[in-house]
Amino acid sequence: MSGKSKSSSKSKTGLWDRIRNKQARIKAGSKEKMRKPGSKGAPTAAAFKAAAKTAKKPAKKKAKK
C-alpha cells in the first residue's frame, strides 16, 4: 500500500471487497496477516451485519419450460 488513503476509493469498495483484496495480496506474498477476530482494527460483528444488508443478492435462475 502507498500509505495515502483515498476517501473516494474506500467508499466504493465494501468490507468483503477489502477482505478479498487483502487475501489476494497475502497469497501473492505480501507478508501481511489477517487480523484475528476481536483484535484492534479487525471488523466487528456489527460491520459484517451491515455489510450483509448491502450485499447483492444472487440472481435467480430461470426455470426451463
Q: For residues 15 and 48, is the Cβ–Cβ distance under 8 A?
A: yes
How far is Cα 38 from Cα 7, in angstroms, rounded to an integer? 25
With a CB cutoff of 8 Å and minimum separation 6, the contacts of 55 are 14, 16
Residues 11-35: pLDDT tens digits? 567 888 999 999 999 999 999 999 9
What does the pLDDT look like over 30-56, one tens digit per residue?
999 999 888 998 989 898 888 888 777
Q: How far apart, in whole angstroms, are the C-alpha atoms of residue 26 and residue 32?
A: 6
